[in-house]
Amino acid sequence: MKKLMAHIQFSSSLRSGLVASLAFALAGCDGGEVKVYTVAKETSPPSAPGLAAMQPMAVSEGAAQAPLTWTLPAGWQEVKPGPMRLAQFAVAGPGGKKVEVSIVLMGGPAGGELGNVNRWRGQVSLPPVAEAEVSKLGEKAEAAGSETKLYDMAGTTPAGDKARILVTSVLRGDESWFFKMTGDDEFVVAQKPVFLEFLKSLKFSQAGPAPEATTALPTGHPSIGEGAATLPADHPPIAGAVPQPQSADPTKPSWQLPSNWTEVPATAMLLAKFSTGQDAARADITVSSFAGEVGGLTANVNRWRGQISLAPIDDAATNQAVTSMEAGGEKGSLVDMNGTDVKTGQPARLIGVAVPHEGRTWFFKILGDEKVVAGERDAFLKFVQTVKLPHAP
């Protein structure tokens, strides 16, 4: 079996680059002083300056930088960014209404237009749309000097409250920049003109090359699923397993790989990727690792539900959907879900396991043709159980 050195080296880069080195350089209006904030540390959010104040932001990867500046609207307050977000703002309205604005940087097309639109629709309980319909949904807008498509989606939260999402993206080289407003339906409508002006105020600096995008969530990232981890009694024997060569380095994972799985190039943020099946009926298996809880179990489950066109659920429903299983000597959470693949529009099944280990969360997922996933379910679970998780350096 081929070694996964390239993928594993990425894990080290992810730890040091994404969590420790990701920084925001925010210049205030008091003399243009530049302050640097590191995402991994707790910092007090700066007070929101007036409309004329410019807030330069930079993402650093070594010496390379791709700064982005904007004009912060009056009433918007910068807050500590959530997982995978480069910047985040809160806007308070009358009667306790509020909206949130976020900036996210991802590698490449980051899932594609159809996949992204259906993921956002799922966040407000809207059904997925077909590829032919996507082009009709976007309205023309301007962001960072580029013409973009703005998607305006109104629906409800899992609790039944009216909600709305405004979101657009800018493709810059091999990076996708996403700008999103979400919150109370009526308040988002009221803030839409302000959001559009904010988008127009965005400016990329031409100084220095753009950094390699290392903050992308993998297409089909974290998966967890419903159903017990027991194997079907009448399932055929598992295919022979090929052990991964053991490494003397305790910071690198190892596992036993089923012989019918083929290693394929992993996309950004993945440590390893495998494929199985024949022709169009295939399934992909992915392995990824991130610092902390990555937004928490419910957030991850809802992201994965969006990948197979399922509506988001709340914490109570998540707890009912998750089954415990042991993986890598740790207690993990497993979910098993059927739906429709947002990319292909075909019936799909997703099984995934999330495992916390030494301050990180490890994700193992199989997603694809529902019959292929059903046939590989026991092999996938055995694969996860053979994983030996690394120790933090």
Domain ranges of the chain: 39-204, 241-386
Residue-level pLDDT, tens digit, the chain, 393 residues: 333 333 333 333 333 343 333 333 333 333 333 333 333 322 333 333 333 333 333 332 322 344 688 999 999 999 988 666 788 999 998 888 999 999 987 766 666 788 888 888 888 988 888 888 888 899 999 999 999 999 999 999 878 899 999 999 998 876 788 999 999 999 999 999 999 999 999 998 764 333 333 334 444 444 444 333 444 444 444 333 344 444 444 556 889 999 999 999 877 678 899 999 987 899 999 998 877 777 788 888 888 898 899 988 898 999 999 999 988 778 999 999 999 998 888 999 999 999 998 878 889 999 999 999 999 999 999 999 999 888 654
CA distances to 180, 220, 290, 291 from 19, in Å:
22, 21, 9, 7
Q: What is the pLDDT of residue 75?
A: 93
Q: What is the pLDDT of residue 250?
A: 54
CA distances to 152, 157, 181, 307 from 311, in Å:
18, 9, 19, 10
Question: pTM of this prediction?
Answer: 0.45
Domain spanning 241-386: CATH superfamily: Mog1/PsbP, alpha/beta/alpha sandwich (3.40.1000.10)
DSSP class of 223: -
Token output for 87: 């910047």
**Count of H-run helices and E-run strands, the chain:** 7, 22
Q: What is the pLDDT of residue 209?
A: 38
| Closest residue by Cα to residue 62 from 214, 203, 175, 171 | 214
Token output for 84: 């995978």
Helices 297-307, 112-123: crossing angle, 10 deg rounding? 130
| Closest residue by Cα to residue 224 from 376, 352, 340, 48 | 352
How far apart (Å, rounded) are the C-alpha atoms in residues 126 and 165?
11
How far apart (Å, rounded) are the C-alpha atoms in residues 180 and 79?
15
Q: In what order do the strands lie in the sheet with 87-92?
A: 76-79, 87-92, 98-107, 175-184, 162-172, 146-156, 139-143
How far apart (Å, rounded) are the C-alpha atoms in residues 139 and 376?
42
Residue 92's SS3 state is strand
DSSP class of 17: I
Q: What is the pLDDT of residue 226?
A: 37
Q: What is the pLDDT of residue 234?
A: 43
Q: CA gyration radius for the chain?
A: 21
Domains 39-204 and 241-386 agree in fold: yes
How far apart (Å, rounded) are the C-alpha atoms in residues 98 and 381?
42
| 273 alpha-carbon distance from chain centroid | 16
Cβ atoms 47, 41 nearer than 8 A: no
**Assigned fold of 39-204:** Protein Transport Mog1p; Chain A (3.40.1000)
Q: Residue 116 class from Cβ within 10 Å (0-12 exposed, 13-18 middle, 19+ buried)? A: buried
What one-character-per-residue DSSP string does 148-204 give?
EEEEEEEEE-TTS-EEEEEEEEEEETTEEEEEEEEEEHHHHHHHHHHHHHHHHH-EE
Amino acid, res. 205: S
How far apart (Å, rounded) are the C-alpha atoms in residues 387 and 329?
9
How far apart (Å, rounded) are the C-alpha atoms in residues 114 and 136?
12
